[in-house]
Amino acid sequence: MGNMGIPILQLTAGEPIESMVEKLNSRQPELLLGYASIIRILAYEQLAGHLQIAPRTVISRSEVLTPETRRLVKSHLPHTSA
């Protein structure tokens, strides 16, 4: 649990994508926060059917979120406000 009693799943950018997908599918996060490049990969994993999450909010940080990545996230991670 985080400081405010909110469950937190912390993944590192160096973790294998397959491991991230497995953990995210298991936890079903309502908020996805991460590097734009990792969020982009996760959106492709969702498109391929490997990742099956529906976060309400996706927040990109520490990298530029390109218009192309924003479109990809909005179309393949439903219910997001990326």
Is the pTM higher than 0.95? The answer reads no
Structural domain boundaries in the chain: 17-76
pLDDT tier, 70 (very low <50, low <70, confident <90, very high otherwise): confident
Cα–Cα distance between 72 and 80 in angstroms, integer? 11
Q: How confident is the model at residue 80 (pLDDT cuts 50, 70, 90)?
A: low
What are the tens digits of pLDDT across the range 24-69? 999 999 899 999 999 999 999 999 999 999 998 898 888 888 899 8
Neighbour-count burial for 13-37, b at 16+ CB within 10 Å, e otherwise: eeeeeeebbeebeeeebeebebebb
Contact assessment for residue 80 and residue 73, using Cβ atoms and an 8 Å cutoff: yes
